[in-house]
Structure 1
Amino acid sequence: MNFVAIGVNHHTASVQMREKIAFNAERLRALFAQNQNQANLNDLVVVSTCNRTEVYAITEQPDQVLNWLAQSNGFEVSALLQHVYRYEDVQAMTHLMRVAGGLDSLMLGEPQILGQVKSALQLAKDNDVVSSNLNRLFEFAFYAAKRVRTETAVGEHAISMGYAVAQLASQVFSHVSALTVLIVAAGEMNSLVAKHLAEMGVAKIIICNRTRQRAENLAQEIGARVSVEVVEFDQLATQLHRADVVSSCTGSLHQVIHYDDVKKALKQRKYQPMLMVDLAVPRDIEDKVNKLDGVYLYGVDDLQAVIDENMVQRRQAALDAEVMVSQLASQFVVNEKIHQAGREIHHYREVAEQQRQAELEFALEQLKHGAEPEALLEAMSYRLTKKMLHIPSKLFREAAKSEDPTHFEWLNQTVLDIEQHARTLKEINKKD
């Protein structure tokens, strides 16, 4: 099929190099339009994320795809060669399945990449640069990715701080949908915590940040998925009692959540449990808070130990996923052979039908001119048999040359089946 995958990723290129090779949707649309009249650049999908830029294409000229990737980003091909990888046919398909399944990601098993690959395919389809064959390859890769997700544990264990906090909340509390979360500081780490908890379906998120605008920016990002409230930083102590989960990561040199404030909050809550996560270094939450009954306090080191253990489990699960991908790649090859054989069989049947029609028309014409029916039928059957046996005879000769004895055995069995059919037909004719 001449399917190729050509690109760079976090394994082969620095972030500076990846930035220079990245595409956005607008530039891709313009490039696709330019490729309309170039046969070898008119059946491709470009996957471009922060960690990879890859071109998947069905083409007779893979080098032309490589040249396009380099020239589109102002590179000489020679400068790109030391960073680029190139896979063809089954290897390319295996790579695409691994990418879609999160097995080739910087964060092993991360789920976002599947959506990114689907978006890349849709962009290419919207710009009419995807054939039915290329679309079929991607659909099979999505099927493989879904099986990796549902049949292995490669994506089940938290391996980021944000996700780990969300998972911890689901373990401490039985009803996540009833939780109120207090986010103390709206920096990058806590923004991820808030997004994960919003996706998990908590009831409310309160954002407390020194700069109100930054808090409101985060509120706008997650507001479509969860009820959000922004409070001033000087109200932090008075807001603690409202929170089932507190995640703090201020970067302050001094602690911002104190023992006495938490003790008071617990009393206001009638001693309902609180999960408090301190992601800051130096720490935001006074250490002796951990002595209060009903408070579960976790620090960075606690979460890192969980993440390290989870990474080991993901890597073990990834071994199962790799075996699955290898098996699915073999299945894909078989499917392609069947698909190809189906086309060839259809063509062969069309040719056989044309020959039958030609012989029938010739025979009918001969009958009009007074030809003897029996002699005519015999001659027609002889000509048809000779024509129909031409291709099988060639197969027999090729099988005889083959080192694989099963080829010849299969043809021999086919002949036996034909002989049995002929005997059956002869017996039927005798009874009639």
Structure 2
Amino acid sequence: MAVWALGINHTTAPLDLRGRFAFALDQIAPTLQGLRQSLAGASARHPQIETAIISTCNRTEIYCAGNESAVDHTLGWLAQSGGVSPALLRSHSYALEDGLVARHAFRVASGLDSMVLGEAQILGQMKDAVRAAETAGALGTTLNQLFQRSFAVAKEVRSSTEIGAHSISMAAAAVRLAGQLFEDLSDIRVLFVGAGEMIELAATHFAAKDPKAIAIANRTLERGEKLATRFGGEVMRLADLPDRLHEFDAVISCTASSLPIIGLGAVERALKKRRHRPMFMVDLAVPRDIEPEVKALGDVYLYTVDDLATVVQTAQASRQAAVAQAEAIIDAGVQSFMHWMDLRSPPAGASGAASGAAVVPLIQQLNAQADEWRAAEIARAKKLLARGEDLDAVLEALSRGLTQKMLHGTMAELRAGDAEARAQTAQTVSRLFLRSQTKSSL
């Protein structure tokens, strides 16, 4: 079984390119279906391909598992879905296989690969992506193991280290930048566009500064009202935003829209009504919510997720010890996952019928055989007890019957073949059944 991953993130690709590959949660299922069909059509060896997609403002990553790696085909498919050439995507992406996939997934889940070192939001986003893949029927045993182990490693990293201590979130960075523009944040009016998790986080940070007014503009009024009530603000329809934009000193936007919802013309009209009093704007969305041309306006201070990178890197040096601890935990997790993968791979040098057999199916067969023997002996013992047989005699017969069934094949092999074959069998049997004696003689 091969595992591979392909991705772009805030360190490898610019914002506008990342925007081409942003998938909302409701897009994940059809996207995964398209990818699986593409991979299955490319090779007869990919009928049961496993796939998952993680898409956030800072990254889009595809995880796959199948009989053989298909990194190039996956890259070609993703490039086509984003409307760019494979060469361009390759120059801004990273491709990983096997153990490197596990290491990367564990680092992402633990917050070590985030723009904000140690941030916890990515773990929830990964869990959402896994649930979406499960719902789409695209997640199999291998990727499920990979992600469940990612979550376990992330939990250990957060409980055993201080990787998340003193981290500056994107929302906190936005408040810090606003504080550099406005003397007193309690005198400003703040508009939040959207009502998702990122906006909720940003509103929490701004509300702590007790601004003069808070408003939530959202496509769905019900969800916007819930958030507005929490922060003592008002809710407005997204359609009313252009006419009321001039009322707000700060605008923080993060929606799932595929096109900008705040255009250059709307901001120019707002500035005119404000008599060119400055506006602070933060676009946390990927793709963009605010047209990039807005940044050129003299009285607008527009920041994107990439613009906030410098701010959120503050004080990372003080956490390097925690990073080292986290990497050690991740190393152990990677070794454990690769050992699990090895157990599912064909034994090296195997021939004949055993060449395609993996250790895990063999273990399953042994367990099934043992359960069958146990069930047969229990049924036999119950019949004897029902006839009034002595309990001790029945237990003796049950244990003898199980022992004979378990040793029958071994005894037959010890008696079969030539002297050399019997000697090799004897060594194997001693190692498997006489482990305590073998260990004590060493």
Q: In the aligned structure 1, how far is the partner of 2:415 from the partner of 2:84?
A: 57
How far is 1:158 from its partner? 3.5
Partner of 2:240: none
The one-letter amino acid of 1:48's match is: S
Contact 1:21 1:53 in 2 (8 A): yes
Q: In the aligned structure 2, how far is the partner of 1:394 from the partner of 1:82?
A: 60
Provide the TM-score with structure 2 as the length reference: 0.54
Partner of 2:130: 121
CA distances 1:273-307 after superposition (whole Å, capped 9, x unpaired): xxxxxxxxx9xxxxxxxxxxxxxxxxxxxxxx997
How far is 1:95 from its partner? 0.5
Contact 2:52 2:130 in 1 (8 A): yes
Contact 1:22 1:49 in 2 (8 A): yes
Q: In the aligned structure 2, how far is the partner of 1:84 from the partner of 1:307?
A: 23
Partner of 1:185: 189
CA distances 1:162-196 after superposition (whole Å, capped 9, x unpaired): 437999xxxxxxxxxxxxx957331679x999955
> Counterpart of 1:320 in 2: which secondary structure?
helix
The one-letter amino acid of 1:323's match is: A
Q: Count the aligned residue pairs.
A: 302
The one-letter amino acid of 2:24's match is: N
Bigger relative contact order, structure 1 or 2, given CA contacts below 8 A and separation 6+?
2
1:208 aligns with 2:212: yes
CA distances 1:59-79 after superposition (whole Å, capped 9, x unpaired): 224233222222222333233
> Counterpart of 1:215 in 2: which secondary structure?
strand
The one-letter amino acid of 1:346's match is: Q
Q: In the aligned structure 2, how far is the partner of 1:222 from the partner of 1:144?
A: 33
Partner of 2:347: none
Partner of 1:57: 64
> Counterpart of 2:163 in 1: which secondary structure?
coil
CA distances 1:219-247 after superposition (whole Å, capped 9, x unpaired): 847335444479xx99xxxxxxxxxxxxx
Contact 1:35 1:41 in 2 (8 A): no
> Counterpart of 1:72 in 2: which secondary structure?
helix
* Comparing 314-323 and 88-97, the one that deviates more: 314-323
Contact 1:67 1:77 in 2 (8 A): yes
CA spacing shift, 1:90–1:387, aligned 2, 3 Å:
farther
Partner of 2:54: 47
Partner of 2:305: none
* Percent identity over paired residues: 27
**Alignment partner of 2:413 out of 370, 382, 385:** 385
Partner of 1:323: 328
How far is 1:330 from its partner? 1.4
Partner of 2:163: 154
> Counterpart of 2:127 in 1: which secondary structure?
helix
Q: In the aligned structure 2, how far is the partner of 1:184 from the partner of 1:22?
A: 32
CA spacing shift, 1:207–1:412, aligned 2, 3 Å:
same
> Counterpart of 1:107 in 2: which secondary structure?
coil
The one-letter amino acid of 2:154's match is: A
Q: In the aligned structure 2, how far is the partner of 1:393 from the partner of 1:103?
A: 54
1:343 aligns with 2:361: yes
Partner of 2:434: 417
Partner of 2:23: 23
- What's the Cα RMSD here? 5.0
Contact 1:183 1:194 in 2 (8 A): no
Contact 1:163 1:193 in 2 (8 A): no
Give runs of aligned pairs for residues 160-199 of structure 1, distance below 5 A.
Answer: 160=169, 162-163=171-172, 182=186, 184-186=188-190, 195-196=200-201
Q: In the aligned structure 2, how far is the partner of 1:387 from the partner of 1:21?
A: 65
How far is 1:143 from its partner? 0.9
Provide the TM-score with structure 1 as the length reference: 0.55
Q: In the aligned structure 2, how far is the partner of 1:30 from the partner of 1:150?
A: 36
The one-letter amino acid of 1:57's match is: C
Q: In the aligned structure 2, how far is the partner of 1:225 from the partner of 1:393?
A: 77
Q: In the aligned structure 2, how far is the partner of 1:154 from the partner of 1:18?
A: 27
Contact 2:4 2:96 in 1 (8 A): yes
Partner of 1:8: 8
Larger radius of gyration: 1
CA distances 1:92-124 after superposition (whole Å, capped 9, x unpaired): 011011111111112212221111111111111
How far is 1:28 from its partner? 3.2
Gaps of 5+ in 1: 168-180, 235-249, 254-281, 283-304, 355-379, 398-409, 422-432
Partner of 1:75: 84
Q: In the aligned structure 1, how far is the partner of 2:423 from the partner of 2:131?
A: 43
**Alignment partner of 2:103 out of 80, 88, 94:** 94
CA spacing shift, 1:36–1:206, aligned 2, 3 Å:
same
Contact 1:158 1:164 in 2 (8 A): no
CA spacing shift, 1:187–1:58, aligned 2, 3 Å:
same
Partner of 1:332: 337
The one-letter amino acid of 1:344's match is: L
CA spacing shift, 1:384–1:165, aligned 2, 3 Å:
same
CA spacing shift, 1:148–1:48, aligned 2, 3 Å:
same
Q: In the aligned structure 1, how far is the partner of 2:199 from the partner of 2:140?
A: 41
Partner of 1:313: 318
The one-letter amino acid of 1:123's match is: A
Q: In the aligned structure 2, how far is the partner of 1:80 from the partner of 1:197?
A: 32
Q: In the aligned structure 2, how far is the partner of 1:342 from the partner of 1:149?
A: 32
Q: In the aligned structure 2, how far is the partner of 1:413 from the partner of 1:308?
A: 59
How far is 1:205 from its partner? 8.2
CA spacing shift, 1:351–1:27, aligned 2, 3 Å:
same
CA spacing shift, 1:417–1:117, aligned 2, 3 Å:
same
Contact 2:149 2:333 in 1 (8 A): no
Gaps of 5+ in 2: 41-45, 177-184, 219-223, 236-245, 248-273, 279-298, 300-309, 345-357, 373-407
The one-letter amino acid of 2:104's match is: H
